[in-house]
């Protein structure tokens, strides 16, 4: 089902962002209400919209009712398009997480009443069960690592939190519930102690815990911690007996604010974004449920608070530098996740060559700092928010982006993988645009490569129809592949990336005798060839009248590329008696058990 989003402005709160708390929180009897400008998220014809997750680009996921109103189904609202998802055979399907590439996650309830994780990727639902768990509940999905987080139920019926492959049990807890993990690896969730009392917790990356409590709110039924930002702002909800459910924002300095949308029966905060905005849902007295976005009415920046910098990036190529130092290490992958880029390129100043990273890379790529410029390519323009502190020891000021010239692809990446059982680490891929003769190279790591070129004067470096030639060399510089040729199309220019797969590395498609080099020569030359099959190899040299001058017996050789001077056949220009031959045309013939080919060469003295 597809609808288009309509956003209506309603009301207003105050929020600041700062650093992580490390003490138990105590709450005054009267908790102040925070001050936001609220916007309702509405979908025409839908009166139950439980927004549970958002990404950096204004997309949403959560839960709604099925068309017949009989069950809960998950939904995504991406680029204004509303789509519902119902896991086959489920009683209910729930979404609680959404990343920057549109991947959603949650869980579903099967016909036996058991819960299984569910992941939406490329429009398809798939089941995820944590290894060894009887039940799996997913609530979080990390943009930085792709790690899932949530709860699992073991065979004995005990609940534990999990993040990635890590199982988390709060010391002494009867049950532990997980929800979200931030970029630094801090996991938030809740636990029930031996007396049956609920508490919230932060599990820090070093394994230590901080408890979150509401001691002045007696008779708590539950306290669930939903989210934590990279700078440590926490969102949670709690309910006491004979009271309504209440939502709170907890700042790293221990300040606590209740979030309450005027006129609502309940207000539930599900996520706090890096820019301080919040998302969630609220109920009205008529029983309808609506999503909301709450944007801080004011922003506080300062030494003790997280600074915020917003910039607009245009569709296509942009040059930018990161304006603030993030609270956790940033690499090419995290910059791509934050901006939605199809590639990130930087200049290696020492070697005066470009280095690229693409989303199919096996690692996080090069580090990001405040003293360098980066090229990013975006499929569509968007606003990007950076949070953090000022850079130190910076050689130049962090700059706003410079955008691309229309219809000019002034930076381009050729990336891909070398397929095969062998690991090709340390091999190199040489890439040449046959029209411009521009050459770029990339080393192979974990069978992946990314070669980049750019023109800082914004002149086009590639065009539709260009033929891109690739050849692979081993760690000794020997050619180990055929010449691969690929044609650039419009989609490649839109992404600023040509993605390829290189097969058959180390094994030629067919045996060949290649032209000697140098040619003409005096007095020596090298004769390259390819062997598609292993076998005994010999090379015969004839003069122009067909007389045999010399036979080079190369012995048994495995299949491969014999092109470099260290591998090709060598002739010193002498006959079988060791005498230099005269100037003129000569023929050379390669013979194997299954192949024979002859070419000619020229000696000039």
Fold entry, domain 512-603: Immunoglobulin-like (2.60.40)
**Token pair for 302:** 């300062």
Q: Name residue, tokens 């102040």.
A: 32
Q: How big is the chain, counted in residues?
A: 605
Q: Name residue, tokens 């997913």.
A: 138
Q: Residue range 408-434: average pLDDT?
A: 92
**DSSP secondary structure of 338-353:** HHT-SEEEEEETTTTE
DSSP state of 102: S
pLDDT in tens, 174-211: 999 999 998 888 999 999 999 999 999 999 999 999 99
**Token pair for 224:** 């669930």
The Cα–Cα gap between 275 and 289 comes to 25
The Cα–Cα gap between 171 and 194 comes to 10
- Where are the domain boundaries for CATH 2.60.40.4070 in the chain? 512-603
The chain-wide mean pLDDT, for the chain, equals 88
- Where are the domain boundaries for CATH 2.120.10.30 in the chain? 6-296
Residues 6+ apart with CB under 8 A from 257: 13, 14, 15, 31, 32, 33, 34, 248, 249, 251
Q: How confident is the model at residue 290 (pLDDT cuts 50, 70, 90)?
A: very high
Q: How confident is the model at residue 298 (pLDDT cuts 50, 70, 90)?
A: low
Backbone angles phi, psi at 394, to 5 degrees: -90, 135
Q: Residue range 330-350: average pLDDT?
A: 92
Q: State the pLDDT at residue 63.
A: 98
DSSP state of 483: P
Between CA 486 and CA 488, with CA 487 as vertex, the angle to 5 degrees is 120
Phi/psi class of residue 224: alpha, beta or left (left: φ > 0; alpha: ψ in -120 to 50)?
Answer: beta
Q: State the pLDDT at residue 507.
A: 86
Span of 9-18, 110-119, 526-535 with lowest mean pLDDT: 9-18
b/e per residue, 155-164, with b = 16+ CB within 10 A?
A: eeeebbbbbe
Q: Is 301 helix (H, G, I), strand (E, B) or coil?
A: coil
Reply yes or no on whether the pLDDT at 19 is more than 90: no
Whether residue 520 is preceded by a cis peptide bond, meaning omega within 30 degrees of 0, is yes
b/e per residue, 28-59, with b = 16+ CB within 10 A?
A: eeebeebebebbbbbbeebebbbbbbbbbbbb
Q: Is 494 helix (H, G, I), strand (E, B) or coil?
A: helix
pLDDT in tens, 456-509: 999 999 999 999 999 999 888 888 999 999 999 999 999 999 999 999 898 898
Backbone angles phi, psi at 490, to 5 degrees: -65, -35
The Cα–Cα gap between 345 and 496 comes to 11
Reply yes or no on whether the pLDDT at 4 is more than 80: no
Q: Which helix (H) or strand (E) holds 335?
A: helix 332-339
**DSSP secondary structure of 202-249:** EE-TTS-EEEE--TTS-SEEEEEEEEE-TT--EEEEEEETTS--EEEE
Backbone angles phi, psi at 492, to 5 degrees: -65, -40
Say if residues 259 and 13 touch (Cβ distance below 8 Å): yes
Q: How confident is the model at residue 393 (pLDDT cuts 50, 70, 90)?
A: low
Backbone angles phi, psi at 560, to 5 degrees: 165, -175
Q: State the pLDDT at residue 183.
A: 83
Fold entry, domain 6-296: Neuraminidase (2.120.10)
Say if residues 532 and 509 touch (Cβ distance below 8 Å): yes
Q: State the pLDDT at residue 410.
A: 96
Residue that wins the pLDDT comparison between 504 and 164: 164
Residue that wins the pLDDT comparison between 425 and 377: 377
172-177: Cβ within 8 A, 24+ apart? 176/151, 176/201, 177/151, 177/224
Out of 12-16, 305-309, 332-336, the most confident range is: 332-336
**Strand ranges for 335-438 from DSSP E:** 343-348, 353-357, 374-378, 382-388, 402-403, 411-418, 428-433
Q: State the pLDDT at residue 33.
A: 80
Q: State the pLDDT at residue 476.
A: 83
Backbone angles phi, psi at 509, to 5 degrees: -70, -30
Closest CA to 268 of 230, 298, 238: 238
Q: State the pLDDT at residue 5.
A: 34
Backbone angles phi, psi at 460, to 5 degrees: -65, 135
Between CA 225 and CA 230, with CA 226 as vertex, the angle to 5 degrees is 105
The Cα–Cα gap between 216 and 90 comes to 41
Closest CA to 238 of 253, 265, 217, 260: 217
Q: State the pLDDT at residue 311.
A: 87
Closest CA to 290 of 14, 64, 2: 64
Residues 6+ apart with CB under 8 A from 410: 317, 404, 454, 455, 456, 457, 458, 459, 460, 461
Q: Is 52 helix (H, G, I), strand (E, B) or coil?
A: strand
Q: How many CB atoms lie within 10 A of CB 123?
A: 9
The Cα–Cα gap between 293 and 61 comes to 13
Q: State the pLDDT at residue 454.
A: 96
pLDDT in tens, 576-597: 999 999 999 999 999 999 999 9
Say if residues 269 and 291 touch (Cβ distance below 8 Å): no
Reply yes or no on whether the pLDDT at 235 is more than 70: yes
Closest CA to 348 of 323, 372, 324, 319: 372
Whether residue 225 is preceded by a cis peptide bond, meaning omega within 30 degrees of 0, is no
Q: Is 91 helix (H, G, I), strand (E, B) or coil?
A: coil
* Strand 411-418, strand 497-502: pairing: parallel
């Amino acid at each position: 089902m597809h609808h288009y989003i309509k956003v209506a402005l309603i009301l207003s709160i105050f929020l600041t962002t700062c650093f992580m708390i490390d003490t138990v929180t105590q709450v005054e009897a009267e908790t102040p209400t925070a001050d936001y400008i609220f916007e309702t998220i509405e979908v025409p014809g839908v009166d139950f919209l439980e927004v549970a997750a958002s990404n950096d680009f204004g997309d949403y996921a959560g839960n709604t009712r099925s068309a017949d109103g009989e069950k809960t189904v998950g939904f995504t609202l991406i680029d204004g398009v509303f789509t519902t998802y119902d896991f086959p055979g489920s009683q209910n399907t729930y979404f609680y997480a959404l990343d920057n590439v549109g991947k959603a996650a949650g869980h579903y309830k099967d016909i036996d009443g058991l819960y299984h994780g569910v992941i939406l990727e490329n429009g398809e639902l798939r089941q995820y069960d944590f290894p060894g768990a009887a039940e799996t509940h997913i609530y979080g999905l990390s943009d930085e690592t792709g790690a899932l987080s949530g709860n699992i139920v073991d065979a004995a019926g005990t609940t534990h939190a999990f993040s990635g492959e890590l199982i988390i049990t709060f010391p002494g807890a009867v049950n532990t519930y997980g929800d979200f993990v931030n970029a630094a690896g801090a996991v938030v969730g809740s636990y029930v102690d031996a007396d049956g009392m609920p508490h919230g917790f932060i599990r820090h990356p070093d394994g230590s815990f901080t408890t979150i409590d509401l001691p002045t709110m007696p008779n708590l039924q539950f306290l669930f911690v939903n989210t934590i930002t990279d700078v440590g702002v926490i969102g949670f909800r709690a309910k006491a007996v004979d009271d309504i459910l209440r939502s709170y924002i907890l700042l790293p300095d221990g300040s606590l604010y209740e979030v309450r949308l005027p006129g609502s029966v309940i207000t539930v905060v599900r996520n706090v974004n890096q820019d301080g905005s919040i998302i969630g849902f609220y109920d009205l007295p008529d029983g309808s449920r609506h999503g909301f976005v709450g944007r801080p009415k004011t922003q506080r920046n300062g030494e003790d608070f997280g600074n915020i910098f917003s910039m607009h990036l245009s569709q296509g190529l942009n040059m930018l530098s990161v304006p603030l130092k993030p609270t956790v290490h940033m690499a090419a992958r995290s910059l791509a996740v934050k901006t939605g880029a199809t590639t990130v390129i930087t200049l290696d100043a020492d070697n005066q060559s470009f280095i690229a990273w693409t989303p199919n890379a096996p690692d996080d790529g090069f580090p990001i700092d405040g003293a360098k410029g980066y090229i990013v390519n975006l499929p569509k323009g968007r606003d990007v928010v950076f949070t953090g502190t000022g850079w130190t020891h910076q050689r130049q000021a962090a700059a706003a982006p410079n955008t691309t010239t229309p219809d000019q692809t002034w930076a381009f990446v050729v990336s891909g993988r070398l397929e095969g059982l062998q690991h090709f680490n340390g091999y190199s891929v040489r890439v040449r645009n046959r029209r411009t003769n521009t050459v770029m190279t990339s080393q192979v790591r974990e069978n992946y490569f990314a070669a980049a070129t750019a023109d800082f004067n914004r002149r086009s470096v590639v065009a539709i129809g260009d033929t891109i030639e690739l050849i692979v060399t081993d760690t000794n510089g020997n050619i180990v592949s055929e010449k691969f040729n690929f044609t650039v199309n419009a989609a490649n220019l839109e992404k600023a990336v040509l993605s390829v797969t290189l097969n058959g590395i180390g094994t030629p498609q067919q045996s060949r005798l290649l032209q000697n080099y140098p040619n003409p020569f005096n007095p020596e030359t090298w004769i390259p060839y390819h062997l598609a099959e292993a076998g005994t190899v010999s090379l015969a040299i004839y003069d122009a009248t067909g007389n045999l001058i010399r036979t080079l017996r190369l012995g048994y050789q495995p299949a491969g590329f014999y092109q470099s001077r260290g591998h090709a056949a060598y002739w010193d220009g002498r006959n079988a008696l060791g005498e230099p031959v005269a100037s003129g045309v000569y023929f050379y013939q390669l013979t194997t058990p299954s192949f024979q080919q002859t070419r000619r060469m020229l000696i000039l003295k």
